[in-house]
Amino acid sequence: MFVIVLNQNNIVQDGQNNKLVYKFPNSIHFEKKYIAVTNISMFYSWFNITTLFNNNTFTYTFTVGALSTPITVTIPDGLYEISAINDYFQWTCIQNGTYYITSSGDYAYPAEFLINPTRYAIQINTFYLYTAATLPTGWTLPANFPGYPTTRQNCIISLPANINVIMGYPAGFTSTANVGGGYVPPTPTAASNYEAIDTTTNTISYISNTAPQVQPNNNVLFSISSINNPYAQPSSIIYSLNPSVASGQQINVTPPNYMWNKLIDGYYPEIRLTLLGTNLQPLTVFDPNMTILLAIKDEGESSNK
């Protein structure tokens, strides 16, 4: 048995850090050889929200006068938890002046996104916007405040296709405006987004109705160019990595048992490894700092795993 070491020196320089090529000094004849992943060291740095995934935008409405104009929140490519999405939403509100300053100096935003662990869901709370006559005593406005609504109503959150999957809501979900109050939520059904209203404050809460996929690529599939597994699709998959660390932290994995896969007999100048997402598409990895060990053994050769 011998070991091949793949690291950032083997990465194909296309900006995606998902293809590693090990070139042999000369073409190697593989006959009755088997290959397995024996160790992985890399950082959890593949993004869940990107322009490429088309899941990086949603809108909120802050009504001014009688005009309700959706404001687009465009999230930069990155690896986001729900709390980070909420933080970026608040940052966008600050840029647009669509918030209030409480008497204690805190910022009050028109909506928020929270994790509801009890329901395994994402909760969206939308708040009742103030008119000039109803702004609480001691509260002030930012210098770039766009203006009050003519009638009190809730901020409207709208989730287009793709980012709705992150949140666990149906594509095109739109919260209610609740113009003038008196909104009565619909009777919950298995297919609905459960809604509740605080009749004292007119805050409306929504609960996602499907499991949120905050990280759509929660597994990384290792694809080797020189094998053919007739029982797998695609036939080149030899390993699945499920990170058990927080985003940005280092993943260190040594499989307790090696999963040996037969190499196709023939002459090879190189071995090519591609990292795929759960959608079987090449996965863009932000941090190229990685080391992956592959072991190759003869058929019938014993191994310790």
pLDDT digits (tens, 9 = 90+) for 25-57: 899 999 999 999 999 999 999 999 999 889 999
Query: Quick one: which of 283, 277, 256 has its CA closest to 39?
Result: 256
Contact between 19 and 12 under an 8 Å Cβ cutoff? The reply is yes
How would you class 143 by CB atoms within 10 Å of its CB: exposed for 0-12, middle for 13-18, buried for 19 or more? exposed
Predicted model pTM: 0.83
**Contact between 100 and 135 (Cβ < 8 Å):** yes
Instruction: Lowest mean pLDDT of 181-190, 217-226, 248-257, name the range.
Output: 181-190
CA dist 123 and 74 (Å) reads: 20
Alpha helices, DSSP H, located in 150-267? 163-167
CATH 2.60.120.1100 fits 2-46+217-298, yes or no: yes
Q: What are the pLDDT digits (tens) for 170-202? A: 999 999 999 999 888 888 877 778 899 999 999
Coil, strand, or helix at residue 302?
A: coil
Residue with tokens 């992956």: 292
Instruction: Please give the residue that has the higher pLDDT: either 302 or 32.
Output: 32
Q: Confirm if 38 and 3 have CB atoms less than 8 A apart.
A: yes
Q: What is the pLDDT of residue 304?
A: 63
Q: For residues 163 and 204, give the distance between their C-alpha atoms in angstroms, rounded to a whole number.
A: 21
pLDDT in tens, 4-31: 999 999 999 998 999 999 999 899 999 9
pLDDT at residue 232, rounded to an integer: 75
- Detail the DSSP E strand segments found in the chain: 2-7, 19-30, 33-43, 57-61, 70-74, 100-101, 107-108, 111-116, 121-126, 156-159, 173-174, 194-198, 203-207, 220-224, 237-241, 250-253, 261-262, 266-276, 290-298
The residue ranges of every structural domain in the chain are 2-46+217-298, 57-207
Calculate the CA dihedral of residues 84, 86, 90, 96 and round it to 10 degrees. 110
| Residue-level pLDDT at 278 | 87
